[in-house]
Amino acid sequence: TVRQMAVGEESFSGSGSMSAITCPAEAASLAPGGEVACSATYTLTQADVDAGSVTNTATATGIPPSGTPVDSAPSTATVTMEPAPGLTLQKTAAPATVRWAGEVVSYSFLVTNSGNVTIEDLTIEESAFSGTGELSPVTCPATSLAASAQTTCTATYTVTQADVDAGDLSNTATATGSPPTGPQIESPPDTASVTTPDAPGLSLVKSAAPSGPDSLKPGAQITYSFVVTNTGNVSITGVTVAERSFTGTGSMSAITCPAAAARVAPGTQVTCTAAYTVTQADVDAGSVTNTATATGTPPSGTPITSPPGRVIIPQPPAASLSMVKTADVDRLAAVGQKITYSFLVTNTGNVTLRAVAVDEVAFTGSGELSPVTCPAATGSLAPGEQATCTATYTVTQADLDRDSLDNTAAATGTPPSGTPVTSPPDTVTVRSTGAASLELAKEADAIDVDGDGAIAVGDRIEWTIRVTNTGTVTVRGINVSDPTAGKATCPRSMLKPARSMTCTVKSHTVSAGDVRRKSVRNTAVATGSDAAGRFLSSNDDTATVVLAADESDDPSGVVLPDTGAGPWPPVAAIAGITALMAGAFMLLAARRRRSTGSAR
């Protein structure tokens, strides 16, 4: 008989801790041929699964009657785990839609260890990418994944013009890694797509030189210029200019366009030209009118045509400039950040301007702004032509403390005669926080067409819609909806923070029905999206014009008699007229408080 029988561990390959070995009471005295079962428990670890097996060797010990302990032969038990490595990948892109070259797409790669062993050396492999630019390296916060664990890797990409022209952007990738044993494994591929809807557009500005009062003489040579601008978001190929109507009695030369017209990128221009010799019949007619349009083909393949541009000679010279100022960042990020300011100068008049320059009007930065540099084209800027000047600035700590950076500038130029002209100043603000917001204000201007002092049937109401970006990030794709007045025309579709623009709609002629309703009301709303593609809407604003009452609606039918008192009424009558005028003023004031319209 063996007393005090126990089991001891000789070796154990598990990476965790096994419980204590327990034996039943019968182990205290075990007769010859007797058996007893002792037990212990163990919870497998990920390292054990990765190793593929757990081995346990033990011996039994007891004390015979002689008193000298005896040991059994060691016994080994092995538990094996079949490795089943696996990876899955889910790829996403944000935003899912982009419209402009230069927008940044952020790619996310959600990697999951779908197997039962640890995966090391995790990497993301791009298997297919339709982008024409350079994708950033993919960075992963973890390169070792236990079973069921996940990690999200990231990369960024700056959209090119070729990507926008293509209409979409496709990216396919796989995740790879190394299991504890065996070859490297790879996840099934996953694809993320970004759409780039096209919005093609062309504009044409036509001018003539010379075009002043003395230009219409027999034999005078007139040079026509056609400035074509790509106002859309995709490249336009095969740009041409065609005459739509021409009142000249002679023959105008063929219109010639530069080689750059073969492909015009968004925001860029080409200038086509033609020549004409004035005839005596033109002089006898008193003027020559020329109307033309520009045509080109976007990537979609369906040609588009610009609105017509028209020029009449002779015409009085009207020199003017506009300037739109932008910054290449939406927010202040860190000390040392470099900001590039761009000044888009446009000749909005009808004469060529020379020595065009940009002057800083106000700047709140605490550092030194670089000089403004302009291209050679600003030496002579024809009507409709544009040029972009630039300046740079490095952000300081004081700028960050102020939370924003304001920069105001204006453009100047010299016409052929007269004093230099200056554009309205334009301001760009760079803030440290981002929030998109639009505000719309609608105003009515009532025109007393017949001059009778009242707004009634036949008079005209002109509507003005002011859209302001009241947020801190650029708003793109701005559209104004005005169901009553119809299609709204805006000078641009993009607004930087704190920038405004005035949109217009078709004027309204007052009808008898309007008079019966006693007022004309009109409501508009603006919509757009921020750089991430998130939709936003402005407030809806209503403009109301109160109309003069229809005399047929007057129930009294009373007509004041003529007293024959002559041109100087008595004091009582003066007092009565004064009271009536005061009452009318109070009524008019009340009406004006209820309406944004004004009569003139």
Residue 211 has pLDDT above 60, yes or no: yes
User: Residue 376 has what DSSP assignment?
Assistant: G
Helix and strand numbers, DSSP H then E, in the chain: 6, 37
Q: Which amino acid is at 71?
A: D
Whole-number Å distance between alpha carbons of 199 and 233: 6
**Do 409 and 425 touch, CB atoms closer than 8 A?**
yes
Between CA 269 and CA 297, with CA 377 as vertex, the angle to 5 degrees is: 10
Give the domain 87-195 fold: Immunoglobulin-like (2.60.40)
Between CA 340 and CA 133, with CA 231 as vertex, the angle to 5 degrees is: 55
Q: How confident is the model at residue 433 (pLDDT cuts 50, 70, 90)?
A: low
Region label for 486, one of left (φ > 0), alpha (ψ between -120 and 50) or beta (otherwise): left
Half-sphere exposure (CA, 13 Å, Cβ side) for 443?
Answer: 8
Q: How confident is the model at residue 400 (pLDDT cuts 50, 70, 90)?
A: confident
Helices (H), 278-379: 280-285
pLDDT score for 532:
64
Classify strands 87-94 and 104-113 as parallel, antiparallel or unpaired: antiparallel
* Across 244-264, average pLDDT: 96
Structure tokens at 58: 């033990």
* Across 177-202, average pLDDT: 95
Rounded to a whole number, what is the distance in angstroms from the first to the last CA of the chain? 125
pLDDT score for 403:
67
Residue 573 has pLDDT above 70, yes or no: no
Spell out the residues 6+ positions from residue 558 whose beta carbon is closer than 8 angstroms to its own: none
* Across 288-304, average pLDDT: 96
Whole-number Å distance between alpha carbons of 391 and 363: 12
Which of 128-137, 158-167, 199-208, 489-498 has the least mean pLDDT?
489-498
Which of 216-225, 259-268, 373-382, 467-476 has the least mean pLDDT?
467-476
Residue 598 has pLDDT above 50, yes or no: no
* Across 279-284, average pLDDT: 92
Q: How confident is the model at residue 315 (pLDDT cuts 50, 70, 90)?
A: confident
Q: What is the CATH number of domain 202-313?
A: 2.60.40.1480
Peptide bond into 95 cis (omega under 30): yes
pLDDT score for 262:
97
* Across 58-74, average pLDDT: 92
pLDDT score for 472:
61
Tens of pLDDT, residue by residue over 333-386, are 878 899 999 999 999 998 899 999 999 999 999 999 999 999 999 999 999 999
Spell out the residues 6+ positions from residue 232 whose beta carbon is closer than 8 angstroms to its own: 198, 199, 200, 201, 202, 266, 298
* Across 102-112, average pLDDT: 96
| Within this chain, domains 87-195 and 202-313 share the same CATH topology | yes
- The full set of domain ranges for the chain reads 2-80, 87-195, 202-313, 321-431, 438-553
Residue 571 has pLDDT above 60, yes or no: no
pLDDT score for 317:
85
CATH class, domain 321-431, is mainly beta
Classify strands 236-246 and 309-313 as parallel, antiparallel or unpaired: unpaired
pLDDT score for 19:
93
Residue 591 has pLDDT above 80, yes or no: no
| Cα torsion 121, 122, 127, 129: sign | negative
Spell out the residues 6+ positions from residue 103 whose beta carbon is closer than 8 angstroms to its own: 95, 158, 159, 531
Which of 65-79, 145-159, 346-360, 520-534 has the least mean pLDDT?
520-534
pLDDT score for 441:
96
Q: Which of 2.40.50.1070, 3.55.40.20, 3.40.50.300, 2.60.40.1530 is the CATH number of 438-553?
A: 2.60.40.1530
Residue 150 has pLDDT above 60, yes or no: yes
Whole-number Å distance between alpha carbons of 461 and 455: 9
Whole-number Å distance between alpha carbons of 513 and 523: 18
Whole-number Å distance between alpha carbons of 473 and 471: 6
| Model confidence pTM above 0.75 | no
pLDDT score for 398:
78
Q: pLDDT exceeding 70 applies to what percent of the chain?
A: 90
Whole-number Å distance between alpha carbons of 365 and 309: 42
Classify strands 321-327 and 338-347 as parallel, antiparallel or unpaired: antiparallel
* Across 272-278, average pLDDT: 97
Mean of pLDDT over the chain:
88
pLDDT score for 581:
32
